[in-house]
């Protein structure tokens, strides 16, 4: 049996917490597709193509069984399109749990054949979020522990061009 999972998220931008989850999920599944949500209602700092390209650089060493794609619409439709039986999500702290439970139950209602699996983020990345990393970088703080190197570099360039988070 081929075990296929999708790992959906906004990834604006990918953090070390995301990468840690992707790395561990890549060891659990035969195929893992990182799904980058293209949400027209949000105004991300990095557009969809930039986010996909950055994640591809971050996961390049994980193997050919790991892919990165943009998607819009429902996560369960993205999962079905890939024949995935699993959705992967990371959990950092108890505060993540309530929203994640609601999403997992909604997704199960929509697609009972797709199970959500949770991986606990590594302890050292439990505090890391995309939004906080952007804020810290905007005010000149060191984000090297929070973001993969290509992401930290892209963020520094974006902010030096006058972008505001």
Active site residues: 18, 42, 92, 130
Q: How many CB atoms lie within 10 A of CB 131?
A: 12
Considering only residues 68 to 97 of the shown chain, the ones binding ligand PNS according to CB under 6 A are 74-75
- Least separation in angstroms between residue 161's CB and ligand PNS is 24
Closest-CB residue for ligand PNS?
9
Q: Hey, is 133 helix, strand or coil?
A: helix
How is residue 99 written in tokens?
């929203």
144's CB contacts (< 8 A; 6+ apart) are 152
Size of the site for ligand PNS (CB under 6 A): 9
26/75 with CB nearer ligand PNS: 75
User: Does 38 help bind ligand PNS (rule: CB under 6 A)?
Assistant: no
Q: How far is CA 131 from CA 3, 4, 28, 74, 87, in A?
A: 32, 29, 28, 23, 23
Q: Which residues of the shown chain bind ligand PNS in the complex (CB under 6 A)?
A: 8-10, 37, 74-75, 103, 106-107
């Amino acid at each position: 049996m081929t075990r296929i999972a999708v790992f959906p998220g906004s990834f604006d931008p990918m953090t070390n917490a995301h990468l840690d989850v992707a790395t561990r999920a890549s060891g659990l599944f035969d195929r893992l597709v990182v799904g980058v949500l293209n949400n027209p209602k949000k105004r991300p700092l990095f557009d969809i193509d930039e986010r996909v390209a950055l994640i591809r650089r971050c996961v390049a060493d994980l193997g050919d069984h790991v892919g990165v794609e943009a998607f819009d619409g429902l996560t369960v439709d993205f999962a079905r399109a890939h024949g995935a039986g699993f959705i992967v999500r990371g959990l950092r702290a108890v505060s993540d749990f309530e929203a994640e439970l609601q999403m997992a139950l909604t997704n199960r209602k929509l697609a009972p054949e797709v199970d959500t699996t949770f991986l606990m983020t590594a302890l050292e990345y439990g505090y890391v979020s995309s939004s906080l990393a952007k804020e810290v970088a905007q005010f000149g703080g060191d984000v090297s522990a929070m973001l993969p190197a290509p992401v930290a570099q892209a963020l520094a360039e974006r902010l030096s061009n006058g972008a505001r988070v």
